[in-house]
Amino acid sequence: MSLFYVVAFLSIIFALLVIFTKNPVHSVLYLIATFFTFTIHYIILNAQFLAVVNFIVYMGAIMVLFLFVLMLMNLNKDTEPMKSTLLKVVGAIAGGCLLVTLVGSMKTLSSASTTAMDNTGIGLVENLGKVLFSDFLLPFELSSILLLAAMVGAVLLAKRDNKTA
């Protein structure tokens, strides 16, 4: 039980570090740490498939992509001009308002179903696979098209235009 709170605390700390670190490369590294804590959360929730996917896709693929782009642009210095203090305070207050609102809206939820945890193992690969390839077969196939389109789009955007160059 205390494991959850420790990991949750770490998640929040790392998330804060992501946005308040000046060096972008450090930010990416903290983000990876945050995602690692998320993976632990997934394991705690018995969502093993998601834990694996999160580990591979987010921490592996996506974060490498971020780092790769940062290296490509040679931005691993504190080159970013920061916003004025006033704007930072205003932004923080706006975010705080959002948090207060979200937490406040939690009160409207009924607290009855808070601890009914099941042990059926729906997050296991076998069970999830069955659902994914029966009920969600069409969205699954469509998502492949999405990924293909994203790939083509990314290549097209990032390609250096020979005519203007």
Partner 1 sequence: MIDLVWLIPLLPFIGFLINGLGRNILPKPLIGTIASLAVIGSFAISLSIFLTFDAAQPQVIHLFDWINVGSLSIPFAFQIDQLSIMMLLIITGIGSLIHIYSAGYMSHDAGFGKFFAYLNLFVFFMLLLVMGSNYVIMFIGWEGVGLCSYLLIGFWYSNGAYADAAKKAFIMNRIGDLGFLLGVFLIISTFGSVSFTEIFPKAAGMVSGDATLILITILLFIGATGKSAQLPLFTWLPDAMAGPTPVSALIHAATMVTAGIYMIARSNILFALSPVTLDIIAVVGLLTAVVAAFIALTQTDIKKVLAYSTVSQLGYMFLGLGVGAFTGAFFHVLTHAFFKALLFLGAGSVIHAMSNEQDMRNMGGLRKKLPVTFLTMLIGTIAIAGLPPFAGFFSKDEILAHVYEHNKLLWIIGLFGAFLTAAYMFRMMFLTFWGNFRGTEDQKHHLHESPVSMTFPLIVLAILSMVGGFMGVPHALGGHHWLNEYLGPVLAASNNILPALSLEHATEYMLMGLSVGGVIISIIIAYVKYVSKGYVPKEEELQSGINKLSYNKLYLDELYTAIIQKPLDILSTFFFKVVDKSGIDGLVNGLGKVSIEASKTLRLLQTGNVGFYIFAMVIGIVAVLVYSFIII
Partner 2 sequence: MENITSTIQAVPLNHYILLSAIIFTIGVIGVLVRRNAIIIFMSVELMLNAVNLLLAAFSSYSGDASGQVFVFFIMALAAAEVAVGLAIIVMVYRNTSSIDINILNRLKW
Could you list the residues that contact partner 1 (CB under 8 A)? 83, 87, 90-91, 94-95, 97-98, 101-102, 104-105, 108
Residues whose CB falls within 8 Å of the CB of residue 4, separated by 6 or more in sequence, listed in order: 41, 44
> 51: closest CA among 65, 30, 36, 66?
36
CB closer to partner 2, 114 vs 162: 114
- What is the Cα 63 distance to its own chain's centre? 10
Q: Which does 13 bind (CB under 5 to 8 A by kind): partner 2, partner 1, none?
A: none
Q: Which residues in the 74-93 window bind partner 2 by CB under 8 A?
A: 75, 80-83, 87-88, 90-92
Binding status of residue 33 toward partner 2 by CB under 8 A:
no
CB closer to partner 1, 101 vs 127: 101
Q: Would you give the end-to-end CA distance of the chain in angstroms?
A: 59
Q: Which does 24 bind (CB under 5 to 8 A by kind): partner 1, partner 2, none?
A: partner 2
**Rounded Cα gap, residues 151 and 133, in angstroms:** 24
What count of Cα atoms within 13 Å lies in the side-chain half-sphere of residue 71? 6
- What is the Cα 47 distance to its own chain's centre? 16
Binding status of residue 65 toward partner 2 by CB under 8 A:
yes
Q: Which residues in the 95-124 window bind partner 2 by CB under 8 A?
A: 95-96, 98-99, 102-103, 106, 109, 111, 113-120, 122-123
